[in-house]
Structure 1
Amino acid sequence: MSYGLAEFTRDLGLPVSQETAQRLETFRRLLAEWNEHTNLVGPKELDLFWSRHALDSAQLLRIAPPEAKRWIDLGSGAGFPALVLACFLAEREGAVVHMVESIGKKARFLNEVIQAAGLPGQMFNLRIEDFGAGSGRYDVVTARALAPLNRLIPYAKPILDRGAQGLFHKGADLDAEMAAANDALSGGAYQADVLESLSDPRGRIVRVTKASARS
């Protein structure tokens, strides 16, 4: 049985408007077109667009604060979760998704999807270290398949320290990552909560917040 938009909507458990579906389909189409000449994702991953990548990305909307409007995605790559989130947030007044990607060909792809689908996105073709705290205060910072937590949290620290909530996709080796990230979590300066994933029974979402923001 094929897995498409209908199954994605069912499993996500959130409304998906016709306009959002059209934006997601534009993203999926351009990803397939670009992947013919630019290595953005593995060939088999295109068949998993809805069941794995789109669902894995969109589930963050269920976890994030409902009022969150300013998002920043680190190491955006092929656009997961940033472009999926932007497809939904296009209907939220004042929402924006900033994307940080240092590799030029990936940055160009992200920009093309932003333009073609009319997304509330802005691309920063920079190294994460050079981006720093970015442009203004963010509500949520995300990253998927970017780095282990002991490296990821320092990348996100300038943004987390200004009040953003971190939502980071992780896999089956999370326990080892959490143990190795003890120093990065600064001995209690940050709170890390582990949440189950909708898209993968082995996957997890790690929610990181500055401890003082929770008190």
Structure 2
Amino acid sequence: MSYGPDEFQRDLGSTVPRETIARLETHRRLLEEWSARMNLVGPKELDLFWSRHALDSAQLIKFAPQAKSWADLGSGAGFPGLVVAAFLADTPGASVHLVESTGKKAAFLRAVAQEAGLPVTVFNQRIEDFGRGQGPYDVVTARALATLPRLITYAKPILDRGAIGLFHKGADVDAELAAASDALNGGAFQADVLESLSDPRGRIIRVTKAAARS
């Protein structure tokens, strides 16, 4: 059975505007075209665009529904950054900053953003050089980028300015959390484990400054 926009909306638990679906379809189409000539995703992953990648990315909006300013580290093929931007495209003042060190991937991200009309700025640089970026940001994200300890280190300049971190993780999340105790800086940051809509084995790690919690 095929999985497309209708199933995507069902599993997301909300009706998605036609304009947003059209932007996501532009992302899917360009991903297919560009993947034929460069290493973005494989054919099997293209078949999972709606059921895995788009749903995995779009659920983050539910964890930060009021957020307008997002930074996505190691954006690659645009998950979750381009998907988040597709949902925010009609929100006044919204912006999504995508950080990608590989030039060809950065060019792909710009092409999708331009054709789909997304509120995106692409930074073709290393995450270490991006630092705290042009924030402050409401949310910082990363998917399939690094282990949690390294991820928190990458995101720390942004988290220190009050952003929420939303990071996709898999079944080994407990081991990564244990290894991240130093990166969580002795209680300066709080990590919460949230269930994933797209994968029963997956989790979303929400990282916040402990001082900002009530």
Q: Is TM > 0.5 for Structure 1 vs Structure 2?
A: yes
Corresponding residue for residue 144 of structure 1? 143
| SS at structure 2 position matched to 1:187 | coil
Distance in 1 between residues matched to 2:148 and 2:6, nearest whole Å: 34
| SS at structure 1 position matched to 2:186 | helix
Per-residue Cα deviation, 1:151-170 (whole angstroms, up to 9, x for no partner): 00010000000000000000
- How far apart are residue 13 of structure 1 and its match? 1.3
Once the two structures are superposed, the pairs formed by residues 164-203 of structure 1 within 5 Å of their partners are: 164-203=163-202
Distance in 2 between residues matched to 1:142 and 1:156, nearest whole Å: 8
Distance in 1 between residues matched to 2:56 and 2:66, nearest whole Å: 20
- How far apart are residue 91 of structure 1 and its match? 1.4
Identity across aligned pairs (percent)?
75
- How far apart are residue 14 of structure 1 and its match? 2.4
Distance in 2 between residues matched to 1:120 and 1:179, nearest whole Å: 36
Corresponding residue for residue 26 of structure 1? 26
Per-residue Cα deviation, 1:8-34 (whole angstroms, up to 9, x for no partner): 001101231111011000000000000
- How far apart are residue 120 of structure 1 and its match? 0.3
Per-residue Cα deviation, 1:41-99 (whole angstroms, up to 9, x for no partner): 122000000000000000001111x2210000000000000000000000111101000
Once the two structures are superposed, the pairs formed by residues 82-161 of structure 1 within 5 Å of their partners are: 82-161=81-160
Per-residue Cα deviation, 1:156-196 (whole angstroms, up to 9, x for no partner): 00000000000000001111101111100011110000000
**Partner AA of 2:22 in structure 1:** Q
Q: What is the aligned-residue RMSD (CA, Å)? A: 0.6
Structure 2 residue 6 is matched with structure 1 residue 6: yes
Residue pair 2:3, 2:51 contacting (<8 A) in 1 also = yes
Distance in 1 between residues matched to 2:8 and 2:94, nearest whole Å: 23
The TM-score normalised by the length of structure 2 is 0.99
**Partner AA of 1:46 in structure 2:** L
Per-residue Cα deviation, 1:87-141 (whole angstroms, up to 9, x for no partner): 0000111101000000001000000000000000000001000000000210000
What stretches of structure 2 of length at least 5 have no aligned partner?
Answer: none
